[in-house]
Structure 1
Amino acid sequence: MNWRVQLGLALNLIVFATVLNSVGIVVERSISEWHIAKTVGGTLEGCKDLTIAFTSLLLASQVPRIGYRKVMMAGVAAVCLVCALLASVQKFWTVPILFIACGASFALVKVAVYATVGLFAKTPAQHASMMNRIEGIYQVGALVAPVVFAQMIASGNWINTYWFVSALALLALTTWIFTPLKSDEPQETKKSGGLKDVQMLLKRPVVLVFLLCAAVYVMIEQSIGTWLPSFNKDVLGLEPERAALMLSVYFGSLAASRFVFGYLVRIIPAFALQLAYLTCAFGLLATVLGTTAQAPWAPAAYLLVLVGFFIGPIYPTLNSMMLSQLDRSLHSSMTGLIIVASALGGTIGSQILGTISQHYTTHTAFHFPLLPIGTLAVLLILFHRLEKR
């Protein structure tokens, strides 16, 4: 994979990470500046996640017919335009358009990115290493996004952030214009079975277990990430600014772990590493909950973000293990199923943790992720056995 392809993929991921992880900030700013109702602000998450899920389900299998490079160019071009629209108009009606357009684009671009990795990876270990680097770059974008928004908010016009994102998307588009993917051409003309491929995949027990793994993983990551600032503020007694900053540290730990895992997996079997990481994540979260049961303990904030370090590599490694087993013609359909399962898992996890927080306490709610962490370990063992058949 030459440096221009790597740069193009990295820019794609950073652009989408910045936009898709800005929902919480946009909701808060929209309520403060445009005085929208909180119920209206709450629909923005659905604009993103539901669009991602439906687009993946309906159109992911068509990506090979269009061509991976063309899809990525169209996706970043759409982001460039809608970000410029929001930054220019500065009205709330453009915000749902932004997240719907970016959600649809991300669903297809992610399929193209994953398939492009499959074009260049020659071995399962190399595929796993590249997938972890790809997901690590995405988390770097998620880490940087709150910092950029914070600076723009402090300057008095947070919407100007979207001029920056629009320019970044234009840079990504320019990169792909001058970066042909010759190995992509056979995939463009190869006919895909579309929904037939999806139905065929869903008949395989290993695929069903894998999709459960993906959904449960995102349930863990997103439920913790969504409610981490609330835990830091309500349970640990941190200042609101510091509580929000720890969210960036959490994203940073996810990114760092994926880069580290990308190298470790070359010398240690991925399955053994995954189980070891999950055990550490379970132990860290249980320690945090135990030490804060009676009174706040500020150092627990740093232990809690380290949970991200030990769950971070699970998702990209699982995806790599599954995709590397399949023929390349099935990668688009499989990636579509991955995105749907991920969207459903993330939405359900956040809703469950939020509901428990509302009826009990935030501390009580954070016992919930222990259940999917344990469940994921069991599912990983089952997936490993089915994979070996």
Structure 2
Amino acid sequence: MSRLLTISAIAASYFVFAILLNSVGTVILQSIDSFGISKPEASILEGFKDLSIAFFSFFVASIIPRIGYKVTLLIGLSIVTLACLVTPLVANFMVVKLLFACIGISFALVKVSVYSIVGMLSPSVKAHSSLLNTIEGIFMLGSLSGYWLFSFYVNTEVPGSVDWLDVYYPLAGMILLTLVIVACSSISKDEHYQTQKGIFSGFIAMVKMSYQPLVLVFVLSIFLYVLIEQGVGTWLPTFNNEVLGLPNNVSVQITSIFAAALAIGRLLAGQVLKVINWYTFLNICLSAMGLIIIILLPMAEYSNSQGISSVLDAPLVAYLLPLIGLMMAPIYPVLNSVMLSSLEQSKHAAMTGLIVVFSALGGTTGSVITGFTFQAFGGQTAFYLSLIPMGLILICLYFFQKATQKQA
């Protein structure tokens, strides 16, 4: 029961943060409409979220084990609860920026804690990969439900309405419930860090770790992957709206297919990896992603946007393009699992700190580049550019596989 409650606590924490983090694409679309801002201005929300994650996790990842994972989770959840309650009361773009900064800071605390707890609960590489893929799958289920939750609050009848900000009230309630689950769990401290001397020893270890060739090629792979995922995921609602001509609420709802594909892909990956080598599997996934982009994007030019009032009226390409998430899904958790499983448990918090930092930097870079390209050259060109980092990941994977074999 203790183990099950602990897993439930970290899964619930990841679920609510999935809704908050992956709402950035919807919030960008609605902010452009409600606050009259440009796409490059709106893309800065990704920076407020991701740069706060990167900056904060870089400096606190080594301190979190000392504080305790349970206390850290409670602090992170408390911060976003207050931010969600304040946002609809003030209702302007500045407070939305501050909301995403709070989400970023809190997620830095939560992710380092969750990844470290997964390591404590996993006695083997297979157990680690299985549990991590499950947790990441639950994360994507949270993202999926978030698109529908937000779409219910989008008022398409009143242009410029800020009624959609009321969604943060039920979200605050969900986070409070998660706080209770975490408070009731029995998450223990990592004994290694309780006996460690020097407050900056963990931070120094994390910096030293980043110079290793294996770690360098790993973090570059993570950076490029998140660049693609956030570039596509963040701007897909706007792509649906401006390129495919779907109404705002339908654009948000149909983007949920992307989150569903990510969730299904991650939940299935654990089973597929039992029979296929991870390196072969990821190469197949990346190749399939490239084919989806090359085959489906030309179809967007011929889609008919007349008379669309619900997801059932949307053109075929609107359903097919988000399925790129099915192939994209396993890459991130598999890379993380292979990397973390090759390290001692005592190094997991430091390694997770690096994962969070480079994931955040990749997310911001992907969103900003896609936003500027979208504004200047259109949505199709912006999405075509994702083929470049896909090719670079294929190269990185080759060296990563060689490095892990050498270390083993």
Same fold flag (TM > 0.5): yes
Which moved further from structure 2: 95-104 or 4-13?
95-104
1:30 is displaced (CA, Å) by 5.1
Is the CA contact 1:67–1:187 (under 8 Å) kept in the aligned structure 2? no
Is the CA contact 1:51–1:103 (under 8 Å) kept in the aligned structure 2? yes
Structure 1 CA distance for aligned equivalents of residues 108 and 146 of structure 2: 20
Q: Classify 1:97/1:224 alpha carbon distance in 2 versus 1 (closer, same or farther; 3 Å).
A: closer
Deviation digits for residues 42-77 of structure 1 (CA, Å, limit 9, x no counterpart): 543322121111001111111111111111111112
Counterpart selection for 1:303 from 308, 320, 332: 320
SS at match of 1:153: coil
2:284 counterpart of 1:267: no
Q: Classify 1:388/1:310 alpha carbon distance in 2 versus 1 (closer, same or farther; 3 Å).
A: same
Superposition pairs for residues 149-160 of structure 1, below 5 Å? 149-154=150-155, 157-160=163-166
Structure 2 CA distance for aligned equivalents of residues 133 and 55 of structure 1: 26
- Hey, what does 2:330 align to over in structure 1? 313
2:371 counterpart of 1:365: no
Unaligned ranges ≥5, structure 1 = none
1:25 is displaced (CA, Å) by 3.8
How large is the Cα RMSD of the aligned pairs?
A: 2.5
1:263 is displaced (CA, Å) by 2.1
Q: Which amino acid in the other structure matches residue 302 of structure 2?
A: A
Structure 1 CA distance for aligned equivalents of residues 67 and 17 of structure 2: 21
Structure 1 CA distance for aligned equivalents of residues 358 and 241 of structure 2: 31
2:14 counterpart of 1:6: no
Superposition pairs for residues 207-246 of structure 1, below 5 Å? 207-246=215-254
Counterpart selection for 1:205 from 213, 237, 261: 213
Is the CA contact 2:140–2:259 (under 8 Å) kept in the aligned structure 1? yes
- Hey, what does 1:351 align to over in structure 2? 368
Structure 2 CA distance for aligned equivalents of residues 240 and 92 of structure 1: 18
Which moved further from structure 2: 9-18 or 93-102?
93-102
Structure 1 CA distance for aligned equivalents of residues 148 and 81 of structure 2: 20
- Hey, what does 1:20 align to over in structure 2? 21
Is the CA contact 2:19–2:145 (under 8 Å) kept in the aligned structure 1? yes
Structure 1 CA distance for aligned equivalents of residues 388 and 400 of structure 2: 18
Which 4+ stretches in 1 moved above 6 angstroms? none
Structure 2 CA distance for aligned equivalents of residues 229 and 44 of structure 1: 15
1:256 is displaced (CA, Å) by 0.9
Counterpart selection for 2:354 from 301, 323, 337: 337
- Hey, what does 2:124 align to over in structure 1? 123
Which moved further from structure 2: 319-328 or 261-270?
261-270
Q: TM-score, normalised by structure 1?
A: 0.90
Structure 2 CA distance for aligned equivalents of residues 230 and 37 of structure 1: 14
Counterpart selection for 1:182 from 171, 188, 206: 188
Q: Classify 1:188/1:40 alpha carbon distance in 2 versus 1 (closer, same or farther; 3 Å).
A: farther
Q: Which amino acid in the other structure matches residue 62 of structure 1?
A: I
Structure 1 CA distance for aligned equivalents of residues 106 and 51 of structure 2: 13
Deviation digits for residues 139-196 of structure 1 (CA, Å, limit 9, x no counterpart): 1111111211222335984333222222222112111222112364554444472332
Structure 2 CA distance for aligned equivalents of residues 242 and 372 of structure 1: 29
2:342 counterpart of 1:325: yes
Structure 1 CA distance for aligned equivalents of residues 241 and 43 of structure 2: 21
Q: Which amino acid in the other structure matches residue 120 of structure 1?
A: L
- Hey, what does 1:78 align to over in structure 2? 79
Q: Classify 1:357/1:100 alpha carbon distance in 2 versus 1 (closer, same or farther; 3 Å).
A: closer
Q: Classify 1:90/1:234 alpha carbon distance in 2 versus 1 (closer, same or farther; 3 Å).
A: closer
- Hey, what does 2:308 align to over in structure 1? none
Superposition pairs for residues 103-182 of structure 1, below 5 Å? 103-154=104-155, 157-182=163-188
Is the CA contact 2:214–2:403 (under 8 Å) kept in the aligned structure 1? yes
Structure 2 CA distance for aligned equivalents of residues 28 and 269 of structure 1: 40
- Hey, what does 2:310 align to over in structure 1? none
Structure 2 CA distance for aligned equivalents of residues 53 and 43 of structure 1: 15
- Hey, what does 2:311 align to over in structure 1? none
1:116 is displaced (CA, Å) by 0.4
Structure 2 CA distance for aligned equivalents of residues 204 and 211 of structure 1: 11
Is the CA contact 2:25–2:236 (under 8 Å) kept in the aligned structure 1? no
Q: How many residue pairs end up in the alignment?
A: 387
Which moved further from structure 2: 19-28 or 344-353?
19-28
